Amino acid sequence: MTMRLFGKLVFLLTKERMEYRGDFILAVIAQIINYIGDYLIIWLFIRKFDTLAGWTWPEIALLYSLGLFTYALGASFSFVQMRDLENQVKNGTFDSILIKPVNPYLYIVCRGFNLGYLAHVAISGSVLIWALYELNLYLSWYEFMYLFLCIIGGAMIQAGFMSVIGAMSFIWVRTGFLFTLFFKFKEFISYPLPVFGTFIQVLLTFLVPFAFINFYPAAFLLSKGTALLSSWAMWFVPLMGPVCYVLGYRLWMLSVNKYQGAGG
């Protein structure tokens, strides 16, 4: 699949979605209100204790916004697509994709592009900019580049893990419980890693590297100490995204190659 065809499919889907502008706008507003509530809950919690593991409210707002922003970017190309694979495999409708002369992964990813995550981008992006201003973080060019690469990397980590879950659809068919587990793990990164015990810190760093989505990038920008990674290791943080995504993609393609149909 060429980038031109990829862009064409995304454009057609966007055009199709915008045929119902009222429904789209209401959905965006509802999502924004929902996440404003989440920010409010965290703010009230921090207000009671002043700081959390040495992190102030603007610092945690930066942390949470990085997690939400990267999730929106990654999930727009992976969540609905991988979640729906369960039913497609179960009902046999996925087989029709395999006869198309395109890469099945790229076809599913761009055909299911979700504009609804615009709400996530709007609220998290706004709070992220506010947090940087409130913390007086005037980023140098290399810090800005580091933040940009970490955002891309964080999105790729989440898309990679969701691709792994999608790959399991070809093996186990039912994968809803894996998405539940994914979001349970993601809840941990709403707060600074030192809040949790050593086991959770090791788990989210080396086994399920969700801490690379927002904690380590934020800790580097805020000059916060990290127990498990030295300061020089911060420059390797953006690399975790491409690694996770490539592994997720490879597993997905390997699983498709072993797929034998709805009855297989």
The CA–CA distances, whole Å, from 169 to 6, 109, 187, 260 equal 24, 15, 24, 12
Asked if residue 170 is part of any domain, the answer here is yes
Do residues 109 and 77 make contact, with C-beta atoms less than 8 angstroms apart? yes
Q: 264 lies in a domain?
A: no
* Of residues 111, 101, 80, the one with CA closest to residue 11: 111
Q: What is the pLDDT of residue 8?
A: 72
- Give the model's pLDDT for residue 107: 87
Does a structural domain hold residue 263?
A: no
The DSSP 8-state label assigned to residue 213 in this structure reads T
Q: Has residue 24 been placed in a domain?
A: yes
Domain that holds residue 84: 3-258
| 10 vs 206 pLDDT, higher one | 206
Q: How far apart are CA 26 and CA 110, in angstroms?
A: 24
3-class secondary-structure state, position 166: helix
Tell me how far apart the alpha carbons of residues 108 and 56 are, in angstroms, rounded to a whole number: 41
The average pLDDT across 250-254 equals 97
**CA-CA-CA-CA torsion sign (127, 195, 154, 232):** positive
Tell me whether residue 207 is in a domain: yes
If we measure between CA atoms, which residue out of 123, 150, 127 comes closest to residue 241? 150
**Considering only CA atoms, which of 180, 148, 168, 7 is closest in space to residue 73?**
148
Q: Are 155 and 74 in contact (CB under 8 A)?
A: yes
User: How many structural domains compose the chain?
Assistant: 1
Indicate the pLDDT class of residue 53, thresholds 50, 70 and 90.
Answer: confident
Residue 27 within a domain: yes
Question: 100-142 pLDDT, tens per residue?
Answer: 888 999 889 888 888 778 889 999 999 999 999 999 988 899 9
Asked if the structure places residue 141 within a domain, the reply is: yes
How far apart (Å, rounded) are the C-alpha atoms in residues 116 and 28?
A: 6
Distance CA 217, CA 237 (A): 7
The answer to whether residue 242 scores a pLDDT higher than 80 is yes
